[in-house]
Amino acid sequence: MKAFLIAGEASGDALGGALMAGLRELAPGIAFDGVGGPLMQAQGLVSRFPMDELSLMGLAEVLPKYFHLKRRIRETADAVIATKPDVLITIDSPDFCLRVARLVKEARPDLRTVHYVAPSVWAWRPGRAAKMAKMIDHVLALLPFEPPYMEAAGMECTFVGHPVVAQPQATEAEIAAFRTAHDLGEAPVLLVLPGSRRGEVGRVGQIFGTALKQVLADRPDLRVVVPAAPGVAQLVQETVADWPGQVLVLDPRGTDADLAASHKRAAFATAVAAIATSGTVSLELAAAGTPMVVAYDFNWLSRKLIWRMALIDTVTLVNLVTDTRTVPECLGEDCRPELIAAGLKTVLADPTAQLDAMALTMKRLGQGGEAPGLRAARAILSGLSGANPAHGGA
């Protein structure tokens, strides 16, 4: 049996690596081909070209590479057609992956195609599902409420669980080592997460700093800890220079990767609360049991367009998965220091409802069950054998 897999960014590489491990466990002897990063390569994939070529975000980055990407789409589709795999598995990165799948499906309509990570049609642009159904047979969903949207468009869809439930959590020893290493003593920690992209940090950095002045005026005992993503660590260091209090930036540059990961886990686990930009970091906080306020702003044009197209009144997955609104949000025009500070004070005063919602979120995302990568592998093999791959359900 042969599977051709395509991932275009680090998150997809992580999903692909776990999926490949599951496929190897359930189908020993399976052969892999395709495009992926270090985690997929560790499972036996020889990537046809560096995955980093596809890890582009934003119009300004994509335009200069447009013709090169078009050529890679054609080359990749030709490789799938020529090697005749049993299944094509595309992982997220829809702009690249679905274009490859469309070309492959035109030439090989009999080849089974699987896409891992459902598009968020429940949030905006619902028509994407119908377009996707023309080239995808089976979708692997990370969220439990997604299968009906995909099935309504004519695709099979299996909820396989979110990878956050399989991520390791900090041990008591790691937390103690983290506090000792940074001389935190027994001080309560407030986590601040200003984003992983320069634009995000630039838009919210000053706002977060002003909000902290209001919070620390009431809670001077809080120690502010800021885990920085490698690509924006220098910008984060410059941004927090004007923030009040003793701010500790966890800068992963020049630090052993395992130690940096351990300190980040410990920071998440030991914090009494967090201010975070929206995104999957909210699920990482939920997995660690850290209550939060979500705050995010867009540029002016994106703000107008996104709110006009949005189908939901919340962007935080804890709120969506549990159908509650326990995580306060300060988004767009509401991303203001006084609102962020007020939300954080409320959370600090009584986090009980949010902690309950976070625990329920983890349960609904598959915590305590079979690992998502293994569930995804089982769903793919079930589909190939002609069995019904457990539509929906947990």
Q: Does the pLDDT at position 301 exceed 80?
A: no
Q: What is the full DSSP assignment across 153-176?
A: TT-EEEE---GGGGS----HHHHH
Average pLDDT over residues 357-369: 96
Q: Quick one: pLDDT at residue 255?
A: 87
Cβ contact 71:89 at 8 Å? no
Q: Calculate the alpha carbon distances from 384 to 27, 88, 141, 210, 227 in Å.
A: 12, 11, 17, 55, 42
- In 3D space, the residue among 267, 277, 273 whose CA is nearest the CA of residue 216 turns out to be 273
Q: Quick one: pLDDT at residue 65?
A: 73
135 and 205 assigned to the same domain: no
Q: Does the pLDDT at position 388 exceed 60?
A: no
In a domain, 270, yes or no: yes
Q: Calculate the alpha carbon distances from 372 to 86, 89, 384 in Å.
A: 22, 16, 18
Residue 70: CATH number of its domain: 3.40.50.2000
Q: How many CB atoms lie within 10 A of CB 51?
A: 25
312 and 179 assigned to the same domain: yes
Question: Strands 189-193 and 271-276: what pairing?
Answer: parallel
237 and 359 assigned to the same domain: yes
142 and 197 assigned to the same domain: no
Which amino acid, 244?
P
**Distance (Å, rounded) from C-alpha 284 to C-alpha 272?**
14
| Residues 369-393 as b or e (16 or more Cβ within 10 Å = b) | eebbbbbbbbbbbbbbeeeebbeee
Average pLDDT over all residues of the chain: 91
Q: What is the pTM of this model?
A: 0.86
Residue 15's Cβ-side half-sphere holds a number of Cα atoms within 13 Å equal to 26
Q: Does the pLDDT at position 306 exceed 60?
A: no
Looking at the DSSP assignment, which residues form a beta bridge with residue 296?
331
In a domain, 167, yes or no: no
Q: Where are the alpha helices (DSSP H) in the chain?
A: 10-26, 38-41, 59-62, 66-83, 94-107, 128-132, 147-152, 172-181, 198-218, 233-239, 257-270, 281-288, 300-309, 317-322, 337-349, 352-364, 372-384
The owner of tokens 């569930």 is 375
Looking at the DSSP assignment, which residues form a beta bridge with residue 5?
34, 89
Residue span of the structural domain in which 346 resides? 172-364
Cβ contact 331:382 at 8 Å? no
In a domain, 392, yes or no: no
210-260 pLDDT, tens per residue? 999 999 999 999 999 999 988 899 999 999 999 998 899 999 988 898 999
In a domain, 391, yes or no: no
111-124 pLDDT, tens per residue? 999 999 998 887 66
In a domain, 390, yes or no: no
133 and 227 assigned to the same domain: no
31-90 pLDDT, tens per residue? 999 999 999 999 999 999 999 888 654 444 556 677 888 999 999 999 999 999 999 999
